[in-house]
Structures are given as C-alpha cells and as structure tokens.
Structure 1
Amino acid sequence: MLTIIREFLITLIFAILVLLITYLNREENSFFQVNHLQAYFLNQRQTTVDYTKINTIDEYWYWLENSFVSNIRAQQWYNGDIPQYLNGFLNDKSNRLIGWATMRQLRVKSELCPNQRVILTCQHSYSFSNEETELFQTGWKNQTIEDEIYSSSILKAFNYTTSDESDTYTYAGEFGTYRGGGYVYEFRGRLSDMKTNLSALHQLDWIDEKTRAVFIQLTLYNPSVQLLMAVTLLAEFLPTGGIYTTARFEPINFYTFTSILQLVCTIFYIFFIIYFIIIEIRLLFKLRLKYFHQFWSIIQLGIIGCSLGSAGVYFWRFQETNRISHLFEQTNGYIYINLQLAVYVNDILTFLLGYCCFFSMIKFVQLFRFNQRVSLFAETLKYCAKELISFSIMFAIVFISFLSLFYLLFVSKLSSCSSLLRTAQMLFEMTLMKFDASEIMGADAFLGPFCFTLFILLVVFVCLSMFFSIIIDSFHHAKDNQKEDQVMLSFMVKKFLRWIGLKKQTQSEIQEERDCRMRSQYFDPIENFPDRMDQLLEALNRIYINQKIELSRLEKAGL
C-alpha cells in the first residue's frame, strides 16, 4: 500500500509541476492583444478595406494605400492634439513598431506555354526552381529610364534580396512554401512619403501577373503588458487569378523566471526528470527488449523525451532572446528585427510542453487502475487492440476509396473538396453526421446524392457498426474476466480516512474484523489429518525396524 501511495504522490506532484511550468510560460494577455490587432489591421467590419475579402490586385492596393499605411503611424488624437512622445507607435497609440514594416514579394519566371499557337508565355505556380531572382529597374524593365527619378526605397523594391540579407526564413502558406528572399519594400519615413511611394509602386505595376506572394511583416512591442508580437500578413496570388489572404499574429513573452515560483518549479522538475531517467535505465537493463513492449514504458519515454527536448529548445530560445535584446538595446528599437525564427522556436517549445502535459495526465490512468471503471476501460482496450488494428486497415482502405472518389468528382465544384486534406476533413465530418448535405446535393443533381448515400451506408452504418461491435464484445469479455485489484483502492481510502480521524469504524466493520481474526486463528482438524497419519506411519515404521534389529541381535547371541 505504501508503494502505491508513493507512486501516486510522485505522479501527482510531477503533473502539477508540468502544468505550472507550461501555464506560467504563457501570457494571459496574449488573446486580447491578438484580438485587438486582428480587428485593427484586417478591418473586417469595413467592407471597402476588409483584408480577408480581397480578390483582385486593385483591391489589395486600395487596402494598402487607404488602411494599412495609415495604421502604422501615430496620427493626431481625436481632439486634434499632436501625438507627443509616440514616435514609432502605431495609430492605436499602444503598440510600438520595432524598426519598420517590410513588404516582400516573390515572383516567378515566364515560361513557354504548352500550346504556343494561342499564347506564347505562361506564369505557373510558385516553386523554388522557377522563382525569379534577377535584378530589375523600375517597372520590371532591364534598361534604365533616365527621365524618371525615384527614391532609393522604390529602386530597392525591384532588386532581389536574399534571405540572409533580409533575415527572413522559409514560410509555409496555404498554396505553397515560400523562400525567405524576395523583392523588399521598407515602410520607412513619414506617412506622406510612404503614401507617395505606394502610389508610385502601384503605377509601376510592382504587383503584376508574375507575383505569387506578398508578405507584410512587422514586429510590435506593447510596453504596457511587456509583450512582443510578430505580425505576418500573407497574400497568395494564384495562377488562376484569385488572391488568398491569411494573417498570423504570434505573441511572444521573452521574460523568463518572472517569479520565484517558476524558478522553484523548474528546479524540482529537473530533479524529477533525472529520477525518472535513472528508474527507466534500470528497468531497461532488467527487462531488455520486453521493456519496449509495455505501453506505460512508451508513455514514460515520451515524458522524458519531451522534457529533454523542451530543455534544449528552451536554451535555444534563451539564446535567440539574448540576440534580439542585444539588437534592441543597441538601436533603441529603431532597426527592423525579424521574430520569425523566434516564433518557430517558441512554437516548438509550446508543442513539447503540451505533449509533456498530455503524457503526464495519461499516467493517471495507470494510477487509478484499482478503480473498477478505469480498470475496465484499460482491460477493454487491451482485449480489442488486435481487432482494432485489423479494423483500422479495412477502414483505411474504404476511407481512401471514398476520398479519391469525392476529390475527383467535386474538386472543381466544392471548396471543401479543393484538396485531399480538406476532402478528408469533410468525410470525417460526414462520418460524425455533422455535415451540411445541401452543399454536396447542389454540386451535382445525381452524383451528389448518390455518393452521399453510398458513403453513409458503407461507412456510417456498416463500418461504425463493426467498430462498436468490437468495443462492446471486448467490454463484455473484460467485464467477465475482471480482476479484484480495485478492492485495494477502497481499502486504502478507508485506512487513510481512519488514520486522519475523518471516519470511524461502524459496529458491523468492527465485528467483521473480529471474525477475520478468528478465522485466521481457527484450524480445521481435518486439515491436520494427513500430517497425523504420516506421523503414525513413521512411528510404526520405527517400531518395526527396532524389533527387526532386536531379533537379529538375539539370533546372533544364540538365545
């Protein structure tokens, strides 16, 4: 019983430490900051400058010139006062822009069309192989026009900048993965100068049919909550002519060990991980390959692996924090600092800490194995494991068949079937009966209802019924062969409550304990009968042997 109590306390304390470290690593003001900036930059309530509803290049330029550029400079207050001491702040007067905002474009090369009799050149989708990296003059021309004079910012916007020069990294969008380089325009100077430059870039067709992606990146700092924010506004220009816009607002808090509690929890957490490593190494040497056949060994390895990984990523983030802090102190925040790498590192740390919490909570299932319900749940999964694996293979074949069918039939008719991943998501929603059938019914008068009915019959009615049958059969088998270990939990709880004085023994429990003691002292005489018979036979055998010895002695003496 003491071993079980010790195991329970160790797991409980470790889970509390993991939860504290994870939640202390998050900033409670992050949601409100992100919510404010989304409303501030995307303008979803204003139909004329709604970033999420942009469909053409002209609409994108209109949003840039009439909404975005005005938002990144602090202007007059509502009563006409000059915004004093707000140099570098946004127009919301609460977030400071670190350095300047950048607008980076990625372009593709012109290629010969397959059918050159109609159109000679074509612009395909973006890829690393067909990315344009040449240097151009204004208007994407190869020769210099002497009559026109533009600012250095506009001239630089037509020159390719590598990822090392711009301190940017590869970014995964909805329709492609884009390199860190590109043609960069920096939003620097006064508001009037930026508006003039944007108007000039618009006239020079800086965004044209060869444009495939435009990134707007800026780094913000809110001194009120001491929170950094990496903002990425991506517009993907598709070869079909449409524009797909996405926005990411990533809050980052670089301040580590802001309280004594966080430092103490981290120290104890390290000691727990060292203790777990020693225990698992001993078990590994003792069980060898059988160690990896145990489910809870995999869970423990997951905790150790994620903990060690989070420690390594934490030091990586600490190094990146020092680099950014050093740049900020040197320039007083008047140089562009890209937080893209810091966001990636912070996301990895969040994933690892999240999995640590997950594995720590899963371990409580093992501790409550003495509970009847939990024990029954674990035994049910144990009995149905092999059947579920076989069923999963069969279900995967059926699901992939319907995935191919729906994707090929409705790829051009339904937005939910525009990719394999979205089609799979739609089919899972149909399996859970949380799908609007009117959309697929309207896609095709015959194929829509036919495919929908076929999927419901084979997957929902047949496959799910088989799945539930496997679970129910395993449940009955586990219930019939249930162990008596769950009695231990109730016994431990009763003993603990009596020990601390919260529960007293009833008269029936006292009488039951007396009966148990009497039964332990009582011996049934019939149980001792075989031993008594053995003793009798041994005594008779000794008497017979002694008489034989005495007779032989008398014969030798001649008596």
Structure 2
Amino acid sequence: KLQTDFQSTGSIRFQSYINPFSFQMMSTLSELLCSIAYLMFIIYMMIEIIQSIRRMKIKYFHDVWSYINMGIIICSWTSLLIFGLKYQESKAIGKFFKETNGYDYIDLEYAVSLDQLLKNFLSLALFLGWIKFVRLCRFNRRISLFIQTLQHASRALWSFSLMFGVIFIAFLCLFYLLFISKLSTCADLYRTAIMLYEMVLMNFDAHELINGSSFLGPFVFTLFILIAVFICLSMFLTIINESFRYARDNLKSQRTEDEIIFTFMMKRFQCWIGISNDSHERDGMMREKYYTPTDAFPNKVDQLLTALDRIYTNQRQ
C-alpha cells in the first residue's frame, strides 16, 4: 500500500506499507475443534452473565471484572463476524482469480483491512482472557498481593492518569507544532506521541532535537524530562509503593482455606509432573516416624564394637 501525506507545511511525504495475510481458513481439524470449544465457552459465559444481571441487576456493573467479561464476549462475537466477512471476501477473490487466471488487477485492500481488524479483536480478547486467568489464580498469595495493590491504588491511579494525560497532551502539541517541519519523528501526532513515550523510557536522540532547533530543542526536552519523568514517574512509584505496603500488611495475617487448598493443589501437581521432591521428603519423615528399634539394632552393635575397640586401644597405650 502506497500513501501520500500532504503536510500542513506544504511538504509531501511518501509512505509504503506491506501487510501480509493468508487466505487459508481453518486449515486443520484441531483449529476447528478449538474454535468450536471456544464458542461454547463464550455461550456459557453469556448465560452466566445474563443470570448474574437478573440476580444482581445494576450492582453487577459495579464490579470491574464484569466489564472484562463483557469485553471478552463482545470481542469474540465481533471476531466471528469479521471472520465470516473475511471468508466471503477470500472466496470472491479466489473466484475472480480463477476466472481471470491472475491476469487482471485484484484489489486486496478490503481483505487486508478485515484481516487486520480480526487480528486486533482477537488480540484484545486474548489480553482480556489472560487478565481473567489472573483473577482465577487469585488464591495464590503473590497474585492476591498484586490484585489488592491495584485495587487499593485504583482511585489514586485514576487521578494520576488524568493529570499525566493533560501534561502529555500539552507536550504533544508543543513538540508537534515546533518540529513538524524539522523532524521526521514529529511529522504527525501519532509519531510525536511515540517519540514522547520513548523519552519517558529514556530512549531518545538528543542530537536530532538540537539539529531541529538549537535553543528550543534542548529547552523543551529538558522541561519534558523534569516534569514527565522526574515528577510524574516519582508520583506514580510513590502511589504503587504505598498501595503495595498496605496490601502486604493486610495479607500478613491472612491465610484463607482457599489459599491452603491452592498451595496443596500446586504441590500435588508439581509432584505429579516430577519437578518437586515433596514426596521424597514426606517418605523420609514417615520412615523416621515409624523407624522400629529392631531396624536400628545392627547400627547400635557396630557403634558398641567401635567404642570397645577405642577403649582397648587407649588402655594399651
């Protein structure tokens, strides 16, 4: 895909994109079975959500995890719809290619757009699914500490995000308007935002800013580092540290039955796959507990003979 960008300064920038995609749809039986199982799981989730809404009504939407469940369902059904459209488009392209023997122009932009949308929605559904998996493992002490830290810091993080967003947008407009005609990394708002995020991560090219403007470049760069990095990131770390300390103190005296059961299940699973030595340690403890005196008699006799031999040797000396 070739794209021509007419900038506000009068310059013209040419860009090219290559988006590979595949026409194969469900090439193996395992993919089909996994897709069917996934759809059945989504239908089960929908039934559970409907029952929860009927039972809890508006209170159901007070929980953050409810939005994650709904996000998974929306992304999954949207992906299924896009998959159907992509399948129809692939069949149409294949039919047109067969009729023309590949000698006529084929417009693949619509098919590529559908493929990109499908990947985006599937990626979002996978991301939300892993977050839900973390919640299922909340009985683990470390994961519970992580979840409680985020829950305690949620309000402070919302306020911090609003403040940081205002500051970031202000610097975004500043860098974009100052260096739009001087730096390729500030050609549009998207690239400027990426450059600022890289600056927050201390990944930047100072010589490029100096070449863009000998005075304004270092000045705005220093101002951004002082405000966004030293001040804002310090506030962010302070919020996380305070919430972590609160969650850690709250979990010190808590050891629920669910956590004990989860720990027991994990140890049994590790023993089952052979990466834990708990079974050997337990067998050793059992042997020590039920060690009969007759089993220790030969060792005691050897110790007695050794002691008598030592006494006899000392008397002769």
TM-score normalised by structure 2 residue count: 0.78
What is the aligned counterpart of 1:406 among 171, 175, 178? Answer: 175
Q: Equivalent residue for 2:90?
A: 321
Question: C-alpha deviations, 1:162-206, integer Å up to 9, x for none?
Answer: xxxxxxxxxxxxxxxxxxxxxxxxxxxxxxxxxxxxxxxxxxxxx
Asked whether 1:277 is paired with 2:46, we answer yes
Cα gap change, 1:346/1:446 in structure 2, threshold over 3 Å: closer, same or farther?
closer
> Among residues 282, 285, 292, which one is paired with 2:61 in the alignment?
292
Per-residue CA distance 1:496-520 (angstroms, 9 max, x = gap): 56789982635768999xxxxxxxx
Contact 1:303 1:360 in 2 (8 A): yes
What does residue 419 of structure 1 align with?
Answer: 188
Equivalent residue letter for 1:484: R
2:121 to 352, 362, 372: 352
Equivalents in 2 of 1:497, 1:327: separation in Å?
56
Q: 2:103 aligns with which of 334, 357, 366?
A: 334
| Structure 1 counterpart of 2:216 | 447
The CA distance in 2 between the partners of 1:510 and 1:366, in whole Å, is 40
Q: 1:312 aligns with which of 69, 78, 81?
A: 81
Equivalent position of 1:119 in the other structure: none
* 2-structure distance, mates of 1:410, 1:457: 20
Q: Which secondary structure state, in structure 2, belongs to the residue aligned with residue 393 of structure 1?
A: helix
Aligned residue for 1:394? 163
Quickly say closer, same or farther: Cα 1:492–1:236, change in 2 above 3 A.
Answer: closer
Match of 1:260 among 29, 34, 39: 29
* Residue of structure 2 equivalent to 1:247: 16
User: What SS does structure 2 have at the residue aligned with 1:481?
Assistant: helix
* 8 Å Cα contact 2:4/2:13 also seen in 1: yes
- Alignment equivalent of 2:255, drawn from 484, 489, 495: 484
Aligned to 1:412, the other structure's residue is in SS state coil
Rg bigger for which structure?
1
Counterparts of 1:500 and 1:438, CA distance in 2: 55
2:2–2:16 CA contact under 8 A, matched in 1? yes
**Does the CA contact (< 8 Å) of 1:395 and 1:463 recur in 2?**
yes
**What is the alpha-carbon distance in structure 2 between the residues aligned to residue 240 and residue 394 of structure 1?**
31
- Residue 28 of structure 1 aligns with which residue? none
Secondary structure in structure 2 of the residue aligned to 1:335: coil
Q: Which residue of 2 aligns with 1:503?
A: 279
Q: Is the 8 A contact 1:497 1:503 kept in 2?
A: no
RMSD, aligned CA: 2.9
The alpha-carbon distance between structure 1 residues 500 and 374, as it changes in their structure 2 partners (threshold 3 A), is closer
Distance in 2, Cα, partners of 1:442 & 1:234: 27
By how many angstroms is 1:435 displaced?
0.8
DSSP-derived class of the 1:369 partner: coil
**SS of the residue 1:251 aligns to:** coil
**Deviation at 1:245?**
2.3
Q: Which amino acid aligns with 1:487?
A: I
2-side partners of 1:319 and 1:392: how far apart? 43
Confirm whether residue 384 of structure 1 aligns to residue 160 of structure 2.
no
1:468 to 211, 220, 237: 237
- Higher helix fraction (1 or 2): 2
- Give the conservation status (yes or no) of the 8 Å contact 2:9–2:181: no
Distance (Å, rounded) in 2 between the aligned partners of 1:325 and 1:304: 31
Q: Distance in 2 between matches of 1:336 and 1:320?
A: 15
Change (3 A) 1:261 1:496: closer
Q: Secondary structure at the match of 1:246?
A: strand
Counterpart AA for 2:190: L
Counterpart code for 1:247: S
**1:332 is matched by which residue type in structure 2?**
N
Q: Which residue of 2 aligns with 1:303?
A: 72
Aligned to 1:34: none
Aligned in 2, Cα 1:400/1:245: closer, same or farther, shift over 3 Å? Answer: closer
The C-alpha deviation readout for 1:73-102, integer Å capped at 9, x for no partner, is: xxxxxxxxxxxxxxxxxxxxxxxxxxxxxx
Q: Give me the identity figure in percent.
A: 45
1:299 Cα offset (Å)? 1.7
Count of matched residue pairs: 281
What's the secondary structure of 2:20's corresponding residue? strand
Q: Structure 1 residues 510, 284: CA separation in 2 closer, same or farther (over 3 Å shift)? A: farther
For residue 384 of structure 1, report the CA deviation from its aligned partner. 0.4
In proportion to residue count, which structure has more strand? Answer: 1
**Corresponding residue SS for 2:15:** strand
* Alignment check: 8 A CA contact 2:76 2:125 kept: yes
- Structure 1 CA distance, aligned partners of 2:8 and 2:196? 28
3-state secondary structure, aligned to 1:333: coil
Q: Report the CA distance between 1:243 and its aligned residue.
A: 4.3
CA distance in 2, matches of 1:500, 1:411: 59
